[in-house]
Amino acid sequence: VDTGSKREEIESQTDLKVRLVQDADLTRVIELDALVTGVAKDTYWHELYARHRQRSEGEEFFFVAEGVGALESTLLGYVIGEVRAWEFGSEPCGWLFALAVRPDARQMGVGEQLMTTLSDAFRNVDVTTMRTMISRDNHLFMSFFRSEGMMAGPYIQLEKDLKP
Ligand SMILES: CC(C)(COP(=O)(O)OP(=O)(O)OC[C@H]1O[C@@H](n2cnc3c(N)ncnc32)[C@H](O)[C@@H]1OP(=O)(O)O)[C@@H](O)C(=O)NCCC(=O)NCCS
């Protein structure tokens, strides 16, 4: 990911496209994740992508947002979601488990378009609930998801320290 600001160029774009991930996107997805989280996880992503390629249609969705025109090859963001059924006694539901927008393309609706595309994909396979999990102190994600209509759900997460 080019960390130099492309904001003006991006702002001048009136459109972007959200499409299914392709093999050629993986390197840029890995770079964007490393930039956003500060942790490079090449192996994780290669394994995730290999599994993704083997999943049946409708089980897992991996979309990327890219610019159009001059920004044709600029990866603006990605979202990944998966349908999980009956675990924890839950009816089939769509889990959003990864989402990121490049820092210089934020607050321009990219995240919202990714969420909308994922929501539509879940609806298309008759999944009518979407869930995600965020850190309590991640105020950015909290504001974003709340503005997208996500609210506290009926489950709580429990954990136990297993260190000796
Ligand atoms: C959260 C994130 C995906 C939002 O993407 P985005 O493209 O900037 O979001 P949008 O422009 O679509 O914003 C939609 C709404 O979210 C809210 N929002 C977005 N950014 C916000 C901010 N910085 N402060 C407050 N609210 C915000 C607003 O309500 C906004 O609607 P508005 O523009 O009409 O006010 C992006 O900030 C991001 O990638 N953050 C890092 C995520 C991360 O750590 N991912 C790795 C772990 S999975």
Question: How does pLDDT run across 93-129, given as a tens digit for each residue?
Answer: 999 999 999 999 999 999 999 999 999 999 999 999 9
Counting ligand 1 atoms within 8 A of each CB, the residue from 106, 110, 119 with the most, and so the one to mutate, is 106
Rounded CA separation 39/162 (Å): 24
Q: Is the pLDDT of residue 4 over 70?
A: no
Contacts of 17 (CB under 8 A, 6+ apart): 65, 66, 68
* Cα–ligand 1 centroid distance for 7 (angstroms): 15
* Cα–ligand 1 centroid distance for 12 (angstroms): 19
Single pTM value for the model: 0.92
